[in-house]
Copies of this chain bind each other. A is one copy, B any other.
């Protein structure tokens, strides 16, 4: 087939991981984690990485990362009570923006159940105009570049 549909990646494609527990309410009427919830996993792995790296001061930072684009491709279902392991890498660091890619893995499986991206543009908190990424943020992102 000539389709551009990608195939699932392996865990080795991601330099950083976070384990996230699923919840009963994540399952929708078909008995699988609802497609929307995958983006909670994306949001969570990105923001937690930044908080723990000291690169995101949610309450008081001058610059905040606005989400301008997200996307996800779904390969296989997950269901509560599975554990999701979210892999994270950075594929583009621009003047004011960062593009993250995320792969989600269920339990002990090595094929992604879903993968997608998440683009942040940094703006000043008050005026919401793009600002250059801080040196602290750039340093925090370096370990997320693909190996």
Contact = CB atoms under 8 A, between A and B. Distances in A.
Given A28-B28, A47-B81, 8 more contacts: A23-B44, A24-B40, A24-B47, A24-B48, A25-B37, A29-B29, A36-B37, A48-B81
Contact of A35 (B23, B39, B74, B80): B39
Interface of A: 19-21, 23-25, 27-31, 34-37, 39-41, 43-44, 46-48, 51-52, 58-59, 64, 66-74, 80-81
A112 to B, nearest CB: 14
B25 A34 contact: yes
Q: Which residue among A28, A52, A73, A81 has the maximum number of chain B CB atoms within 10 Å of its CB?
A: A28
Contacts of A80: 44, 47-48
- The count of identical subunits is 4
Contact of A25 (B31, B36, B70, B73): B36
Given A34-B43, A44-B24, A71 B68 contact: no
B72 A70 contact: yes
Given A24-B40, A43-B36, A48-B24, A69 B73 contact: yes
Given A35-B43, A74-B66, A25 B28 contact: yes
